[in-house]
Amino acid sequence: MAVAAISKITAKGQTTVPQEVRAALKSKPGDMLAWEVEPDGRVAVRRIQPLDVEYLQAVQGTLSEWHTAEDDKAYGKL
């Protein structure tokens, strides 16, 4: 069963990660989180390791050729 946890976003776009979410992620101060936005608007969050960050940054640079207005028009509703 899913647990609902609520937090508020500040004017600076910051929020506190609720204790229930921190426990589920097994996170601690200093950990990094990746936010993944699904096409239907849902957002998933996961704890990542520094090595994951380097990989994600490397992959992001290679995918820029696929992020054009034409791609959004052709694939935006998938």
How many CB atoms within 10 Å of residue 25?
15
Look at residue 67 in the predicted model and tell me its pLDDT. Answer: 65
d(CA 29, CA 36): 20
Domain boundaries, the chain: 19-75
CATH architecture observed for domain 19-75: Ribbon (2.10)
pLDDT tens figures, 50-74: 666 667 677 766 766 666 777 777 7
Identify which of 37, 28, 56 has the alpha carbon closest to the alpha carbon of residue 17.
28
Give kind and range of the element (H or E) at residue 69: helix 69-75
pLDDT, tens digit (0-9, with 9 covering 90-100), for 3-56? 788 999 999 999 999 999 999 999 999 898 989 999 999 999 999 876 666 676
- Position 71 scores a pLDDT of 73
